[in-house]
Chain A
Amino acid sequence: MRRSLLFLLLAVGLLTTLPSVASASATYFTTAQILREFFPSSEKVTYRKVQLTPAQAESLRARLGYKPAKSEYVIFVAMTGEKVDGYAVIDDERGQHEPITFGVKLSPEGKVERQEVMVYREKYGEEITDPRFRAQFVGKGPKDPIRAGRDVDVISGATISSRSMAVGVRRAVALVDELVLHPAKPAEG
């Protein structure tokens, strides 16, 4: 029995010194890192700060079903020369207990090309960082529902985080469409 315990301690000791150890940190990307990941071949990435007008806020509310939490959003724009390579939105969406920070890369036409979790703070539900979950968002555009349980499969055991990501990506798509690609013309006075 004593020998078995010694073996157990030895095994645990060996395991903890293996080179293929994982980092327990759940910060996957900083803002600069995600933008370089999203647009590795672009010449530059800049941004547009958009202060929501009452009309835009109302239009987003109608599209999303809720009023956006912020009054100002930042849309990152990747350029090569005068050509737009794509857009990116970095935002937070509430998980079960904590906010999940995520990034969405969109094509010049406003379709999702990639989605990444940047900071995950919950104890459970980190399965939403799995590539097979994130791949579901690729190709989604303003005309897609992007709703968990409809065109986005949720992960068992990470249901709330899955739904949070669907809500977040849907908002990112709507923001780029509403604020950059098809901005409402100001009312003539």
Chain B
Amino acid sequence: MLLRSLITLGLILSFAPAPALAQNPAEAGGEGGVAARTSDEGPRLELDGLEEAAPATAAAPLHAPAESFSVRLDPGITLSDRAAAIIDRTTIGGYGEHDFVVPQQGTTTFVAHRYVVFIYSRISERISTATEVEFEFAGSPLKRDGVLSFGEVLLEFSVVDVMLTDWMTFRAGVILVPFGAYNLRHDAPAQELPERPIAYTTVVPTTWFESGAGFLGQFGLGEHSRLTYEIYAINGLDAKILDGQGFRAARGSNLEDNNNDKAIVGRVAYSPWLGLELGFSGYTGAYDRINNRVNMVNGDMFWRLGSLDLHGEAVWAFIDPGFVQGFRDGSPANTRDRVPTRMRGYYGQADYHFRIEPFFELLPEEWHDGYFTASVRYEEKDTDMEFVTAAGDAAKLTVGLNIRPVPAYALKQAFSLEQNGASGVQPHLWSSRFFPDSNWQYIASVAYLF
């Protein structure tokens, strides 16, 4: 059923008229037909002797002819030639994030939070692969309570893309689930505050990744409007759905699914002009073997007003009543704990970018284009709307200030107040108990992209 839906969608989209996309190489001047179209037109070029001065890379084709992709498969070539053929098309990068945490209660600590390595490579002109390997808390072994145990080294994203048309790419592998904007843009250097929104680590369990396949692309709607979409069939969430954790333990079914149902997830985003984007996401899938389902919707918004960025999201989850069960017979995962039936969460954040000119003039020359960002975020989560609990309900207010001497390096700091539902009353900023009952926390963090 799900496959048939995907096929139908694919066929419908494939026969829609292809929109005129920005700078389509085939129209704007690739090495092929466009050169022929423009070569007889235009002015006389008196550029003799300029070859060395003009960027050589601009005049040369970016990619070698398609035949060169077969080089790496040629059994007659040396290993070094094969390696060169691969490395030539492969980009390695990544990002890291390291924190210093000062809680009101508990111990101050440095945290080697995450180190992520990207590997991108073109397999052919139309087929490419991208992978992110994450070492969280320095990977394995992980030391907790004085005991070494298994840490986390994960493929959180590992896909192979086939570019079918300008507006449709087929993607398969470990998918970054397109549910909400935050999960898609969760990279630490792209965020202004060191901590992720509380609802977007629980109700939406960022980083949310699942094995699956589907389509993504973009349509131009007129000169300034864009519609982007992603839709996938994935293994989906299992029955480890708990108050407090939300769906965090139910994600990440890369080895096996717990049922024959495949979840469908997708996001559509409309951007009427640069600087404004409105997104809507949906998820539906069975979480156990008796077709009890999780249905979720999410709305997200990003609006840039000069130096001010406003963004926020809201999520609701509707879960059929059931229990933590449905794993293979005899599995200790079948705890039969009650599954929450409704969850919700949201955040709203404002980021203001500014410069203090005399300050940057004092810094080394390469940092003269740096800038500060002041942020404020308010957020709530409720991972079981039938009960108010300490673990499952929270309201949090965060203010932050960071400096980016260059865009790829951020030195962040944030101070937050968080009230939970321990008192049995739903926590809100506007309740009289928010400030007296909240615990504070300070975090300084570095995030970098390389």
Contacts and interface: CB of A to CB of B under 8 A. Distances in A.
Which of A22, A26, A32 has most B Cβ within 10 Å?
A22
Given A4-B4, A153-B304, A25 B31 contact: yes
A144 interface: no
Q: Label chain A's interface by main secondary structure.
A: mixed
Contact of A159 (B3, B31, B190): B190
Nearest to B366: A66
Contacts of B163: 22, 24
Interface in A30-45: 30-37, 39-45
B408 A160 contact: yes
A99 interface: yes
Contacts of B274: 130, 132-133, 136, 153, 155
A96 interface: yes
A66 B368 contact: yes
B329 interface: no
A78 interface: yes
A11 B14 contact: yes
Given A21-B164, A66-B368, A149-B307, A33 B35 contact: yes
A81 interface: no
A23 B61 CA distance: 13
How many residues of B sit at the interface, in one of the four size bands?
35 or more
Contacts of B22: 129-131, 134
Nearest to A30: B59
Interface in A82-97: 90-92, 96-97
A78 B45 CA distance: 9
B290 interface: no
A37 B45 contact: no
Which of B7, B353, B366 has most A Cβ within 10 Å?
B7
Contacts of B32: 23
Contacts of B41: 36, 40
Contact of B26 (A23, A32, A46, A133): A23
B2 to A, nearest CB: 8
A189 interface: no
A119 B62 contact: yes
B261 to A, nearest CB: 13
A156 B31 contact: no
Given A20-B18, A27-B30, A74 B53 contact: yes
Interface stretch (B74-82, B123-131, B384-392): B123-131
A15 B44 contact: no
Nearest to A77: B46
A74 B50 contact: yes
A15 B10 contact: yes
Nearest to A70: B53
Which of A1, A123, A153 has most B Cβ within 10 Å?
A123
Interface of B: 3-4, 6-7, 10-11, 14, 17-18, 21-26, 28-32, 34-35, 38-39, 41-47, 50, 53-55, 57-59, 61-63, 91, 93, 120, 122, 125-126, 128, 130, 162-166, 168, 170, 185, 190, 223-224, 226, 273-275, 277, 302, 304, 306-307, 353, 365-366, 368-369, 371, 407-408, 449
24 contacts: A12-B162, A15-B164, A21-B165, A25-B62, A27-B61, A36-B43, A37-B28, A37-B42, A39-B42, A40-B41, A43-B43, A44-B44, A45-B45, A45-B46, A47-B46, A47-B53, A66-B369, A67-B365, A96-B93, A97-B93, A98-B91, A118-B58, A130-B274, A150-B307
